[in-house]
């Protein structure tokens, strides 16, 4: 096993609260082992363009509480080309980087998988995405903070919804997955939820609206995942307005405010734990894997599984979301 003297760390894809806590853990753990750390700015884009910066324990002081990512992030089309990855490898080599920690989601790990296969730089990933859609970890870094943001928003919307007897559609993030929507709905006491994973939620919503309307209950909250096949809150609003003129409908799209904010305690601890374990794993010769947490235990899952296998929604929570509606 080749000795690791310098680790490159980067954040990539959509930022998520807790990424900074993870970077801090990577830098400080590496330093305890006398391993240098280089921060790669703007994810794969910076790797291709050569945006590198040495990071010491002092450089990551005072960042654990900050949302976003001090390393900045991007989605990088150049890295999808062989030439782009070659350039990235040459830059890493010139910097003396002999291992990587990649903090991000699905796209980040897909890039890491190709990169490792082509150039052999050992890489360990930390799951950083608010979507929670990665196989191999119960929770991703940033998901808890995003859910708390959603719950706070629903609480506030409920006050105005009730005052005006209105039906509110609250659209939350989740292009392909309904984790934020389901958790936000249960914790926010939402009356219905629309999820990309379910294909019968529109007729069920219709039935629900029929029943409520018979009892003259018009103020309800429906949480809509952006990737739901109904097409998001705005599309759904049009359908409801047409079919149910008795409802006074409004939509709120929470959008990118779900991505920001100071990470919760849970996200800081998860990020710190996984950042630490990512470095420990590299130093033990592990590579091409994501560090996650399952049932409170740190587990390594191959990048391929973390990308290709689907993490199922919690069916108990799904059931609860239906049982607890008045
Ligand atoms: O993957 C995280 C995520 O926040 C998704 O939930 C959302 O669909 C997407 O990123 C938005 O991406 P962008 O910030 O590039 O518009």
Q: Report how far residue 126's alpha carbon sits from residue 276's, in angstroms, rounded to the nearest whole number.
A: 10
Distance 140 CA to ligand 1 centre (A): 14
105 Cα nearest atom in ligand 1 = 1
Residues 6+ apart with CB under 8 A from 242: none
Q: Atom 4, ligand 1: which residue's CA is nearest?
A: 14
| Inter-helix orientation angle 201-214/232-243, to 10° | 50
- The helix (run of H) or strand (run of E) holding residue 37 is strand 36-40
> Tens of pLDDT along 175-189?
999 999 999 999 999
What does the pLDDT read at residue 2?
78
Q: What is the mean pLDDT of the chain?
A: 97
Task: Report residue 128 as tokens.
Answer: 């950083």
- Whether the per-residue pLDDT at 166 is higher than 80: the answer is yes
Predicted confidence band of residue 228 (pLDDT cuts 50, 70, 90): very high
Q: Atom 2, ligand 1: which residue's CA is nearest?
A: 14
Ligand 1 pocket test, candidate residues 14, 127, 133, most atoms within 8 A of CB:
14
Q: What percent of the chain has pLDDT over 70?
A: 100
Ligand 1 pocket test, candidate residues 18, 67, 105, 131, most atoms within 8 A of CB:
131
CB of 129 within 6 A of ligand 1: the answer is: yes
Q: Report how far residue 278's alpha carbon sits from residue 158's, in angstroms, rounded to the nearest whole number.
A: 41
- Whether the per-residue pLDDT at 274 is higher than 80: the answer is yes
Q: Which of 118, 131, 123 is nearest to 103 (CA)?
A: 123
Task: Report residue 269 as tokens.
Answer: 């601890």
Q: Which of 261, 240, 264, 256 is nearest to 187 (CA)?
A: 264
Task: Report residue 287 as tokens.
Answer: 């590579």
Secondary structure of residue 224 in the 3-state scheme:
strand
Q: Report how far residue 278's alpha carbon sits from residue 66's, in angstroms, rounded to the nearest whole number.
A: 21
- The helix (run of H) or strand (run of E) holding residue 256 is none
- Whether the per-residue pLDDT at 200 is higher than 90: the answer is yes
CB of 130 within 6 A of ligand 1: the answer is: yes
CB of 46 within 6 A of ligand 1: the answer is: no
**Of 98, 131, 133, 267, which residue is the catalytic one?**
131
- Whether the per-residue pLDDT at 174 is higher than 80: the answer is yes
The mean pLDDT value for 215-229 works out to: 95
pTM score of the predicted model: 0.97
Q: Which of 98, 238, 253 is nearest to 172 (CA)?
A: 253
Min mean pLDDT across 89-98, 137-146, 212-221 is at: 212-221
Predicted confidence band of residue 71 (pLDDT cuts 50, 70, 90): very high
130 Cα nearest atom in ligand 1 = 2
> Tens of pLDDT along 13-27?
999 999 999 999 999
Task: Report residue 48 as tokens.
Answer: 């291709």
| Beta carbons within 10 angstroms of residue 266's beta carbon | 16
What does the pLDDT read at residue 38?
98
Q: Atom 11, ligand 1: which residue's CA is nearest?
A: 14
Q: Atom 1, ligand 1: which residue's CA is nearest?
A: 14
What does the pLDDT read at residue 104?
98
Tell me how long the chain is: 326
- Whether the per-residue pLDDT at 239 is higher than 90: the answer is yes
Predicted confidence band of residue 130 (pLDDT cuts 50, 70, 90): very high
CB-CB contact of 5 with 36 (8 Å): yes
- Whether the per-residue pLDDT at 256 is higher than 80: the answer is yes
Predicted confidence band of residue 74 (pLDDT cuts 50, 70, 90): very high
- The sign of the dihedral angle between the CA atoms of 292, 294, 300, 304 is negative
The CA–CA distances, whole Å, from 142 to 126, 156, 234 equal 11, 22, 26
Q: Report how far residue 69's alpha carbon sits from residue 105's, in angstroms, rounded to the nearest whole number.
A: 14
> Tens of pLDDT along 105-115?
999 999 999 99
- Whether the per-residue pLDDT at 326 is higher than 90: the answer is no
What does the pLDDT read at residue 1?
72
Q: Report how far residue 99's alpha carbon sits from residue 92's, in angstroms, rounded to the nearest whole number.
A: 9
Where do we find the tokens 């096949």? 229
The mean pLDDT value for 222-242 works out to: 97
CB of 173 within 6 A of ligand 1: the answer is: yes
The mean pLDDT value for 288-310 works out to: 97
State yes or no: is 144 an active-site residue.
no
CB of 12 within 6 A of ligand 1: the answer is: no
């Amino acid at each position: 096993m080749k000795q690791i003297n310098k680790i490159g760390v980067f954040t990539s894809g959509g930022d998520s609260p807790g990424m900074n806590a993870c970077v801090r853990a990577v830098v400080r753990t590496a330093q305890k082992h006398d391993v240098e750390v280089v921060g790669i700015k703007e994810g794969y884009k910076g790797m291709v363009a050569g945006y590198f910066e040495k990071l010491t324990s002092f450089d990551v002081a005072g960042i654990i509480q900050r949302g976003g990512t001090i390393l900045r992030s991007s989605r990088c089309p150049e890295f999808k080309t062989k030439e782009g990855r070659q350039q990235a490898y040459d830059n890493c080599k010139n910097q003396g980087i002999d291992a990587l920690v990649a903090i991000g989601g699905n796209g980040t790990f897909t890039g890491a998988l190709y990169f490792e296969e082509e150039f052999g730089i050992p890489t360990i990933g930390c799951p950083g995405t608010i979507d929670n859609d990665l196989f191999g970890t119960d929770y991703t870094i940033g998901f808890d903070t995003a859910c708390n943001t959603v719950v706070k928003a629903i609480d506030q919307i409920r006050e105005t919804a009730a005052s005006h007897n209105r039906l509110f559609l609250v659209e939350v993030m989740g292009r392909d997955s309904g984790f934020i929507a389901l958790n936000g709905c249960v914790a926010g006491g939402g009356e219905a939820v629309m999820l990309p994973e379910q294909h019968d939620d529109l007729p069920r919503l219709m039935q629900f609206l029929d029943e409520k309307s018979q009892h003259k209950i018009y103020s309800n909250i429906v949480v809509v995942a952006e990737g739901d096949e109904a097409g998001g809150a705005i599309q759904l609003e049009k359908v409801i307005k047409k079919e149910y003129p008795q409802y006074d409908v409004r939509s709120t799209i929470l959008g990118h405010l779900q991505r920001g904010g100071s990470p919760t305690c849970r996200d800081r601890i998860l990020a710190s734990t996984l950042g630490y374990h990512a470095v420990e794993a590299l130093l033990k010769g592990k590579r091409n894997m994501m560090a996650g947490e399952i049932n409170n235990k740190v587990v390594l899952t191959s990048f391929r599984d973390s990308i290709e296998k689907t993490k199922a929604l919690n069916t108990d929570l799904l059931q609860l979301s239906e049982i607890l509606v008045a």
